[in-house]
Structures are given as structure tokens and as C-alpha cells.
Amino acid sequence: MKSVALLAAFATLGLGLQNSLPSTVDNHFKNLQGAKGLKVEFSVMRLSGGAEKISLTYGKPNMFKIESPSMLKLSDGKTLFTLDKKKNTYTEGAAVLAPAMDADTWAWSGFFDEKATKDLSGWQAKGKKQIRGTSLEEFAFKIAGGDTGSLYIDPTNGIAKGYSRNGKGGDLIIIANSVTAMKVAPDAKEFTFVPGTAKKEEPKPVAADVLYADISTITTQRCNGCHNSGNSKGGVATDSFAGLSRIVKPGDSASSNFYKVISGPNPRMPKGGGKMTPEEIEMIKNWIDSGAKQ
């Protein structure tokens, strides 16, 4: 009996350190998925300096309003408006969920992204923590790429009230003053962009017809150090057209490993940090979608 119990304990421990989500964490994501809307007021504190107050309102499908004293990111589900309050200018682009998935907003990304935990592992319950007068349950995790973090879940509503992250993705602590999961969808008016006196700024154009030469400039700087014919980490060599073609499905960036590993909330590549810029990601996407020609 004893040895069976021990074995079972080992098995659970083994699993616990892999990918299985503690049930409290799983419930946090289920509660977010199940909500019709979400409102959070939170502060972001960066160890590199500075604190910022942000409020967010989420609605489905793909509607959000993320606002700080310096910026507003608003998606009505079709268009993403980004207002720079200091410059009093805004840009318009196709709606993408990226602003709801970045490091600042990640704790609540499960509202939109049912795979929000796919790059996380090594979950460990750390017990109760008193944070600003509230008793929260801490769950530590590892992020693919080497960063670590903790979610702080509020047992009264089963949703995270904050999270912290350490590593190359930036050291930060996020704590909410209030988190409200809504049973009724927020009014569509909340997601209507009102430019006021702000001037529209055209986003920097990204050539639709991207050439392989443009892409090889990017891979030379960002990938080839670890992925070349002599040293092909993960069996991948990005330093030739032939090598790159093996991780590309022409015309279909969404199914291409090249695009998948550099995009999303926690991109796996370039390994060791230094996320690709939105322009680089867009160029790679356009190159693949326009046929990934040589």
C-alpha cells in the first residue's frame, strides 16, 4: 500500500512539474472563458522604473478597450484604433488581439485565448499571499524561453487579481484594484472609437510584395546565429532559402512554423528574448502569404 501511495505521489509530482494545470488555475481560465465581459483596473509596476495605471474592458467577439493615461487601444471587433494621447494622434488597423495578449494584459488573456497557457509549464502552488490587504493564492510557472512568473488568484471570484513576471521579457508586477467578470455583455458603445480632436496618422506602410532578400536580412540578424547549416538547433537552418522553406507553407502564414514561433503572446523565437518587432513580424507574414518566393 505504502509504495503504491508513494508512486502515486511521484506521478502527481512529475505531472505537477510538467504541464498539468492546478485546478484553481484551470478554473481561473474557465471563469474568464465563461464570462460575457470583463472589466479590470490595474497597475503595472516595472522594475526598470515607472508605474502605470491601466483599465481594460473586454467583450466578445474580439472587442476590447485598454486605456492608460498615455494611450488607448480599442477594438470594435473589426478595426483596432490606437490613440497616442500625448501626440493626440491615432492609427487604424485590422483588429488583432495582440494588445490583449501582451505582457501587461496577459493575466486576463484567457478571456480571448483558450490556449493562453500553452507555453507555460512547471506549475507550482505557492500558498497564500497577502497582497494589498487581500489574501490571494500564488501559482508559479515557467514560460517557454526561460522567463518565470506567478499568477495571484483571488479565491472569492476564482480569477487572477494580478501576476508577476521575471526574465528577459521584462520584470514586472501587475496588481488589480478591481476585477469584474460580467454575466451580461458590455454595451457595444463601449467599443466605439471617438477620435475627438485627434488626428489620424497613416501607419508605416509594409510592402505587400516582400522579397526573400528582405527576409534574409531579418533572419541573418535574428535567427542564423543558432540556425545555420553548421549548427541547426532543433533541426532548423534559416540561413538559406532551402532551409527556410522547410518551416514555411507558402500562402499560409498561420500554418507556417516560421510565423508561428515568432508571433503570439509568448513567442518561442528568437530564443533568449529580443522579441521580433511588429514590422518584422508583418513582413514575414506578408512574405509567406504572398507565396514565399525566392
Min dist CB 96 to ligand HEC, Å, is: 19
Amino acid type, 224: N
Cβ atoms of 74 and 190 closer than 8 Å: no
Min dist CB 118 to ligand HEC, Å, is: 12
Min dist CB 221 to ligand HEC, Å, is: 9
Question: In sequence order, what DSSP letters do the residues of 154-190 get, joined into one string?
Answer: ETTTTEEEEEEEESTT--EEEEEEEEEEESSPPPGGG
Cis? peptide before 61, omega within 30° of 0: yes
Cβ atoms of 58 and 42 closer than 8 Å: no
All 3 cell numbers of residue 139? Answer: 501559482
Binding letters toward ligand HEC, positions 183-222, x by CB under 6 A: ---------------------------------------x
Distances (CA, A) of 130 to 25, 143, 168: 18, 24, 27
Region near ligand HEC per CB under 6 A, out of 124-132, 146-154, 194-202, 266-274 = 266-274
Amino acid type, 223: C
Min dist CB 145 to ligand HEC, Å, is: 8
Interacting residue with ligand HEC among 120, 269, 283, 288 (CB under 6 A): 269
Binding letters toward ligand HEC, positions 220-249, x by CB under 6 A: --xx-xxx-----xx-x-x--------x--
> Does 275 help bind ligand HEC (rule: CB under 6 A)?
no
> Does 270 help bind ligand HEC (rule: CB under 6 A)?
yes
Type and span of the H or E element at 15: helix 2-16
> Does 271 help bind ligand HEC (rule: CB under 6 A)?
yes
Kindly report the CA angle at 205 between 201 and 208, in degrees rounded to 5? 150
Per DSSP, the three-state class of 248 is coil
> Does 272 help bind ligand HEC (rule: CB under 6 A)?
yes
Number of residues near ligand HEC (by CB under 6 A): 19
Binding site for ligand HEC (CB under 6 A): 222-223, 225-227, 233-234, 236, 238, 247, 257-258, 261-262, 268-272
